[in-house]
Structure 1
Amino acid sequence: MANELRLVEAIRTTLREEMERDDRMVVYGEDVGVDGGVFRATQDLIDEFPERVHDVPLAESAIVGMGVGLAAAGMNPVPEIQFQGFIYQGFHQLQQHAARIRSRTRGRYNCQMTIRTPYGGGIRALEHHSESFEAGFAHIPGLKVVVPATPADAKGLLTASIRDPDPVVFFEPTRLYRAMRESVPEGDHVVPLGEAEVVQSGEDVTVVAWGSMRRAALDATTSVDASVEVVDPRTISPLDSDAIVESVKKTGRCVVVHEAPRTLGVGAEIVARINDEAFYYLESPVQRVTGYDVPYPFFARESAYLPDAERIERGIERALAG
């Protein structure tokens, strides 16, 4: 059986089901209780689990740090950071403690914690509300970084993240929360972390895209006179290099798309891995279609910053022309 759900509804459903399954799980964050979160992802959970859903002060370092302590005490914390641009105050807790506990204790302890946060642009938000900094978190050994792009993946990936014994940062693309409805399996639905999905099969060029860029990439393929394969990594760390490399070996061309700034982004790492493992299969240089190396602009200039179908189409054409 399956339900037609939006991405935000799939998140809420997963949290409810996992709280029913695991009485160690606690949900907390700014306004997640009474108000149900800024995007209503936790709406009504406090009524069902009044002892395990909590509003907390605006203190991101404390939100993440408290999760480290809860995990060490045997709980399964799932805090929400209201927007990814606010998480930097808790970055040191993630880097210095959450991600290091297993290594620091030689495997005696782990930090089972999933930090959920909306990320990315496209909703005409204020400053610090549209950040796309997944590359920074992927640079931390011991920390997993997950980005769903569909309601079904949101449920499957969040379930896997909550059950994972190590810390996970779960980035939820804000402009996809209510962008579409999709059939989402009922009951236990798990999408393993570290496994990419070939969203669309093709023969001429591979496009690698995640989050809201997956939808933009699919839109771009409708205007290109070529057979385009679209691969969604779904997990930025660990990254499924094998799936990407196998696709590039088949097509001989590749375009990597992300909305984060270009320099030192995840796209650069993907290009490096393709060069390491599939260089002699390439028919042209790998192209990148990304955000620009500037602070995320105010909403009046947002559409000029974000990669769209037209920019992705031009990137595909460059790859085909090479």
Structure 2
Amino acid sequence: MTSTCGFVAIVGRPNVGKSTLLNRILGQKVSITSRRPQTTRHQVMGIKTEGEVQFIYVDTPGIHIQTRDRNKAINHFMNQAAVQALRDVDCVVFIIDRTRWSDEDQVVLQRLEHVAAPVILAVNKVDRLQDKASLLPWLQGLGARRDFAAIVPISAKQGSNVAELEAEVAKHLPESVHFFPADQITDKSQRFLTAELVREKVTRQLGDELPYQMTVEIEEFRDEGRVVHISALILVERDGQKKILIGENGERIKSIGREARLDMERALGTKVMLNLWVKVKRGWSDDERALKSLGYDLD
């Protein structure tokens, strides 16, 4: 049997379930998730090998409209990262949320106009539809927006129809040797993944209490065999944000650390000693040099 291998960009507006879909396909967490839009900030590659077929999925930040509160350097970076992922891919999975079509969905569709690769439309969260009868006419109407290679209703969270979506993707992968070993599931380092796990816990616990101007930097990652020692620095832009993050008597930061450590131990398969610090670094989210030093680099 001839081997096939190709790159598949997963795109859509913020908070439609791109990262949830990637994690479901891979069977483990590679991309962090939360209910908050724009949780994903980087291109995150997830690799799945099944026999002679290798899928290389690229999860992307949500493509969003630039507004006054979304006009910092980090917002430009996220949009660029998402659009850059569309170059030279073999297939695109465009995700939307049920029967909702927003201005930002339209922006994503416009970005896909000049993409030569086939585009599969995944209609996510159909398990949460109140009126199931509305789905079929909605799916039929979506075909008028673009000549999609396929339109597949799915539930990334429940796993419904995800195998069918993968089968549609597989049709568009070219004949090729595999680019990665069969047991590799991502191109990201353990340092990157542990930083993302800390950021996920902060985002989930604080929600709207903490603005987007928060990031995590791993200062130490030391593997001693039975124990991995990790020191992580959480950067915010204002003293008030630092106070919120630490919480009364340090309870909030302890809770974040506890949840992050448990996820790290599951991911790394070993005991983890995690130390967290919070530091104010003013203006980092609107400073391109600071962003590059913190790993927000399209190169």
- Shorter-chain TM-score range: under 0.3
> TM-score if structure 1 supplies the norm length?
0.27
The higher relative CO (CA closer than 8 Å, separation ≥ 6) is in 2
